[in-house]
Structures are given as C-alpha cells and as structure tokens.
Amino acid sequence: MEHSPRQIMALVRADFKDEVLRSRSIWLCASCYACTVECPREIRITDIMYALKQRAILEGIYPKRFPIPILAKEFFKMVHSKGRITETLLVMRLFLRANWRAVLSSWRQGIGLIRTGRFVLRHERIENRAQLAGMLDSDLHDERRITPKEAA
C-alpha cells in the first residue's frame, strides 16, 4: 500500500480528496475489518474505504488501467443491465480495459474453458431486470449523498 489506513484517514480529515481518490491503497483494502475492530477511537475504517471506492468510481478519478476499479465498474454495469454476471464476459471486459496483453497470453486457457463448457459466451440474465435496475439506481442515488468525511 502506498498509504496506510491511518494515513488515508488523516488525508480524509485534512480534505485531500484528490490524493485519496487517486490512491491505489483504497483498492487494496480486502475488507477484513481488522482495523475497524482494533481501532481505539472506533472509527469505521472499512466502511470509509468502501465509501471512498464508491466515490472514486462515481467521480471517475481512480488510477487508470488499475484492474480493481475497472472490475467493480464492469461488474455493476453487467448486474445493472442483465441482473447477473457472466464470468467469461466479465473477465474479457476486464482484460480488454485493464490489460489487453493478458488476453493474448491466456487465450489457450480461455479456449480450453470454453470447450469444456466452464465458460459460456452468452449473457446470463434474470427476468425482471428493470425492477433490479430501478433498485440499484435508487440505491446509487442515496450513496451519492454520503461523503467519506460524513462516514468518519
């Protein structure tokens, strides 16, 4: 991590918004909740990390070609439009947007997975997609009102 959780909290409090949102550290948080459990001041650090990731995606200022925010964004787009993810297509979109060379280097494994039926190339989808999209949109609308500083 380029910044420790303690440094991230200090930057949030000091209003260094751009530096925090451009940091790779928030994307490396594995949500283990160890810092939240141990924090002597009972700061909800893991929740703040989530809020920062959401804010970075909403504002589009996450580190470019860094795979984790791209995966999160593509995951959301696929669930929003189809109601569920199709792993094959999600992985392909991730590779193409984050590192297209990885597609070329792993094409043999991809073909093998498709041949054995473990990767499907058609979209999987649920029936009432519009209802789910509406729920996600209203939830997203609520999230936009919360700032990481408010969560601290």
How crowded is residue 90: how many other Cβ atoms within 10 Å of its Cβ?
16
Q: How far is the CB of 27 from ligand SF4 (least distance, A)?
A: 10
x-or-dash pattern for ligand SF4, window 35-74, by CB under 6 A?
x---------xx--x-------------------------
- By C-beta, is 9 or 70 nearer to ligand SF4? 9
Closest CA to 70 of 48, 105, 95, 103: 95
Q: At which residue do the structure tokens 């590779």 appear?
A: 95
Decide: is 33 part of the binding site for ligand SF4 (CB under 6 A): yes
Decide: is 2 part of the binding site for ligand SF4 (CB under 6 A): no
| In contact, 67 and 101? CB cutoff 8 Å | no
How far apart (Å, rounded) are the C-alpha atoms in residues 141 and 145? 7
Judged by the rule CB under 6 A, the positions of this chain that interact with ligand SF4 are: 5, 29-35, 45-46, 49
